[in-house]
A and B are shown apart, each in its own frame.
Chain A
Amino acid sequence: MIHAVLAFNTAGKPRLVKFYGRVGTRHQALLLRTIADLVLARPKDACNFLDPCSAAVPVALDRDDTRNGQDGAIGDDDDDFDDDNPGATTSPAGPTTSASARDTDAALAALLPLTAATSTRQTGAPLHLTVVYRIYATLCFAMVVDAAESELAILDLIQVLVEAMDAALGPNVCELDLVFHFDDAHAVLAEMIQAGLVLETSVTAIVANYKATMAHAKASKATVASGLGAAAAAAVSAFPRAGRSRS
C-alpha cells in the first residue's frame, strides 16, 4: 500500500501532498520537510530509496518552539486535528550540516512508524515503510510505501505519474503548472491511485479518463447562469450513461 504521494521542489516547498491515511496536518508538514531535507542532501548517484537508520536514537519530537517556520500564529489554537504525536512541533528547515543530517535521518525514522500506524490494517501490525523518490529537474516526487509494494515497481509508477501529468496538464508540464493547477494534478493522481492502491497504470487510460472528467467540469461550469436545477438536468442528460460498456 502507498501511504503518501508527495511532490516538492528543490527548495523544499510542497507542490503536491496526498496522504492515504489519518495523518494530522502538522505531522504531514513535518514529514514532508524531513523527507525533502534528506532527499535533497543525497548525491546524484545514490539509490532512489530512503532507508532511515532505525537503530539510531530517535530525536525527541517535542523540541523547543522555534517558531520562525511555517506554523505561524494563524488559528493554531483552533487546530483541533489531533495528530498522533501531540508534542510534535515544527522546526524550520535550515541548511543541513552533517550532524543535523543525521538528526533528520533519525527524525524520519521516528516519523515513519507514526505515519504507518494510522493506516494499518485490522491486524494492527505496523508495516515497515520506505520512501522511494525520483528527481525530475527542479521537482522531486516521492512515495511513502510499505513492504507490500515492490520498490522497483514503484519507481516505474512514479514515471507513469509524471508522464500522465505531462500529457494531461499540457505538453512540457513544469513546476508552475503544478502550482496553479494543483486541483487538476490531484485529479490526475486520483485516476491513478485510489486509497493507497494502484488503480490504473496505463498512461493513455489515465489521461483519457482525466480529460473526460475535465470536459464535464467545464461544461457544468458553463451552465451556471441558467439556474442550477435546469442546468443539472441538461448537463446530466448530455453526457454518457453509466451503463454503456467501455473496455
Chain B
Amino acid sequence: MVVRLKEFIKQIRACKTAADERAVVAKESAAIRTLLKEDSSDHRHTNVAKLLYIHMLGYPAHFGQMECVKLVASPRFADKRLGYLGIMLLLDENQETLTLVTNSLKNDMNHPNMYVIGLALCTLGNISSVAMSRDLCPEVEKLLASSNSYIRKKAALCAIRIIRKVPDLMEVFIPRVRSILGERNHGALLTGLTLIQEMCTLNSAVLTEFRATVPALVKLLKQLITTGYSPEHDVSGITDPFLQVKILRLLRQLGTGDATASEQMNDVLAHVATNTDGSKNVGNAILYETVLTILAIQAEPTLRVLAINILGKFLANKDNNIRYVALQTLIKTIAVDGQAVQRHRATVLECLRDADVSIRRRALELAFALIYPQNVRVMTRELLAFLEVADVEFRAPMVAQICATADRFAPNKRWHLDTLIRVMKLAGNYVREETVAQLVRLATNAPDLQAYGVHKLYWLVKADAAQEGLVHAAVWTMGEFGDVLVSGAGGAAAAAPASGEDQDDEPASGLLTGTPAAAPTEAEVIALLESILIGACSVSAPVAVAIWHFIASGFVSPLL
C-alpha cells in the first residue's frame, strides 16, 4: 500500500514537533527504499515525488538518484518531467550517475515533441559536466537554429553553460549568434543577448568583433523606448524593462574602453536617462543601469553630469532600495569622478544614521572612501561621532579604518595624537596592538607633545579605566614621561580648552571633564595605577607588564 504524495505531505504537516517529523520522514524513507529495491515502475513517480519533498525539507535523499534516471528513460512526459527535476535537484556534475543520463538527453533532444526537447535542454543547461558538454554540443548547436523560438531560447542558455565548461567550443556557436539581433521574439532575444554577453566576457577577441553590433543594439533600444503600449511586454507602463536593462548592460560591456562605440551610444543613453519615468521601481532599474553604463564608458562630460545627478536624486529618494543602490554606485563612481561624489557628502553622512542596517553599512564604506586631505578633519569628526553610537559589529573595522586614515592624512601631529586618543576612549576594546604602538611611537617622536599627551591620558584614564587600549597607552606614557606629568609642565596646555584651529576637533561635551588647575602628585598617580591593577580584574598581560616596567624603572621606589 503506497502512500500517495498528498497523504504524505499531510502527515508531515500534522507533526507537532521536529522529532515527530523526523520519525515520519524516517519511516517513509525506509518504505520508499524497500519499494525501490523491488524495481517496479508502477509507483515510481509517487515515490520520487515524495523523495524530492523530503529533500526540500533538508533530509538526505540521494538513494533516489537511480530512480530518477529510470524515470527519465520512460516515454511518459509526466515521468520525464519529474525525472529531470529529480536529477537537477539530487545530482550535480561530479556524480558518476549523471553520465547515465547522457543517452536519454541525446534522445530527448531529438524528440519530436518540443516540450520534451525543452526538458532536456533545461537539465543540460543546469548541471552538465565537461564530458557531457562535449558530447551534446552538436545537438545544442542544431537546436539553436531551430525555427521554434521556445527551443531557441533554451538552447541559447544551454550554450552558455557549454562554453563556460569548455571554452574551446565557443567557436562553434559564434556563427549562429550573428543572427540573434534580428530576433523578434523577446524571450529568444533576451537569452541570445545573454549568450553574446557571456562570449564577450570570456574572450576579448570576440568582444572586439561584436563592437560592430553597437549601432544595431542602439536601434533596438530606441525601438523599445519609442514604441507605444504593447500589452504583451508591458510592465508598469514600460515596454519590456528586462530587455532594456540587458541591452544597456551589453552596451556597457562593448563601450568600455572604446571611444567609437561610446560615441555611438551617447545619444540613446541621454534619451533613456531623460525620458524614463522614475516613479516606479522598473523605471528606476533602467535608470540605474543607464547610470552604470554612462560611468563605465568614455562618455561626454555632460552625460556624466547627468548620471551623477540621477544618482543624487536616488539618494534623496524615500525608497530604501533606491538609496541602497545609489550608495553602492557612488562607491564605484569615486574611482571615476571623485569630485562629483564629494557634493553628496552631507547626504552620505546622514545615511550613517539611517534606521536600516544595510544602508548604514554602505554609507560607512562610502564615507571612508570620501576622505582626502582637505576634508579629513570634518570627516573624522563625523565618523568619531558615529563611532560613539555605532553597532558593535561596526566598531572593529571602523577603528582600524580611522587609525589608518589618521595615519595617511593627519594635518599635524597633535591632531593625530588627539584622534588616536579619542578613538581609544570611544572604543578602546577594539583597538589593535599596532595602534597602541603607533600612539607610543608618535609620542616619542614629538617631544613637544609628550606633556600634552601624558596629561590628557592621565585624566581620561582617571575618569574611566574600562577601555583596555586606552589604559595600556596611558600606563606606558606615564611610565616614560611620568616626571613631566607630575611636574605639571605643559599640563596647562592639555587642561585648557582647545584653542585656535583645533577647536573644531573637540566635541562640544569636551573630553576633559572637570579640568583641574594643578598637576597630579606622585601619590595620585600611583593610586591610579594601583586601582587599575586591583580594580580592573580583566587587565591584560601587556598592561600589567607595562605597569611593572613603570614601577621597576625606579621612579616610585621610595614610595613603594
Contact = CB atoms under 8 A, between A and B. Distances in A.
Interface stretch (A66-74, A137-145, A165-173): A66-74
B81 A187 contact: yes
A123 to B, nearest CB: 8
A150 B281 CA distance: 12
Contacts of A244: 147-148
B237 to A, nearest CB: 13
Given A56-B393, A232-B75, A79 B232 contact: no
A72 B394 CA distance: 37
Contact of B78 (A32, A186, A200, A221): A221
B59 A240 contact: no
**Which among A75, A76, A219 has the greatest number of chain B C-beta atoms within 10 A?**
A75
B113 A239 contact: yes
A190 B167 CA distance: 25
A197 B355 contact: no
Of A14, A72, A229, the most chain B CB neighbours within 10 A belong to A72
A236 to B, nearest CB: 6
Given A45-B355, A179-B9, A213-B115, A195 B187 contact: no
B112 A241 contact: yes
Nearest to A235: B77
A14 B114 contact: no
A48 interface: yes
Contact of A25 (B60, B149, B165, B289): B60
Contacts of A121: 164, 202
Given A17-B56, A47-B359, A180-B6, A150 B115 contact: no
A116 B57 CA distance: 22
B60 A28 contact: no
Given A51-B358, A216-B115, A246-B150, A22 B157 contact: no
Contacts of A75: 29, 60, 63
A11 interface: no
A197 B191 contact: yes
B232 to A, nearest CB: 6
Contacts of B94: 22
Task: Tell me what chain B mostly uses at the interface: helix, strand, loop, or mixed.
Answer: helix
A27 to B, nearest CB: 11
A236 B74 CA distance: 13
B242 A186 contact: no
Contacts of B153: 199-200
A46 B355 contact: yes
Contact of B356 (A29, A46, A218, A228): A46
Interface string A165-207: 0000000000000011011001100100011011111101100
B22 A242 contact: no
B355 A242 contact: no
A53 interface: yes
Given A45-B356, A71-B58, A195-B126, A228 B150 contact: no
B184 A183 contact: no
B111 interface: yes
A106 to B, nearest CB: 8
B148 A242 contact: yes
Given A28-B58, A216-B113, A156 B191 contact: no
Interface in B93-134: 93-94, 111-115, 117-118, 121-122, 125-126
Contacts of B118: 209, 213
Interface in A147-162: 150-153, 155-157, 160
A189 B324 CA distance: 28
Contacts, number: 262
Interface residues of B, number: 101
A223 B233 CA distance: 37
Interface stretch (B47-55, B419-427, B508-516, B525-533): B47-55
Interface in A31-46: 32, 43, 45-46
A92 B58 CA distance: 13
Contact of A81 (B60, B165, B394): B60
B76 A228 contact: yes
Contacts of B184: 247
Given A150-B245, A245-B149, A182 B56 contact: yes
Contact of A236 (B79, B113, B147, B186): B113
A77 B202 CA distance: 41
Interface of B: 6, 9, 13, 18-19, 22, 25-26, 29, 49, 52-53, 55-60, 62-63, 74-79, 81-82, 85, 89, 92-94, 111-115, 117-118, 121-122, 125-126, 146-151, 153-154, 157-158, 160-161, 164-165, 167, 184-187, 190-191, 194, 202, 232-233, 235, 240-243, 245, 249, 281-282, 284-285, 288-289, 319-325, 355-359, 361-362, 392-394, 396-397
30 contacts: A22-B92, A46-B358, A48-B320, A51-B361, A55-B397, A70-B57, A72-B19, A75-B29, A76-B60, A78-B62, A122-B167, A122-B202, A153-B241, A153-B289, A155-B281, A156-B235, A156-B281, A156-B282, A194-B126, A197-B160, A201-B190, A213-B115, A216-B113, A219-B77, A220-B76, A231-B75, A241-B112, A242-B146, A243-B148, A245-B147
Given A51-B324, A242-B114, 16 more contacts: A18-B89, A22-B94, A55-B393, A70-B59, A74-B25, A151-B321, A152-B281, A156-B285, A190-B122, A200-B153, A202-B233, A205-B187, A220-B78, A231-B75, A247-B149, A247-B184
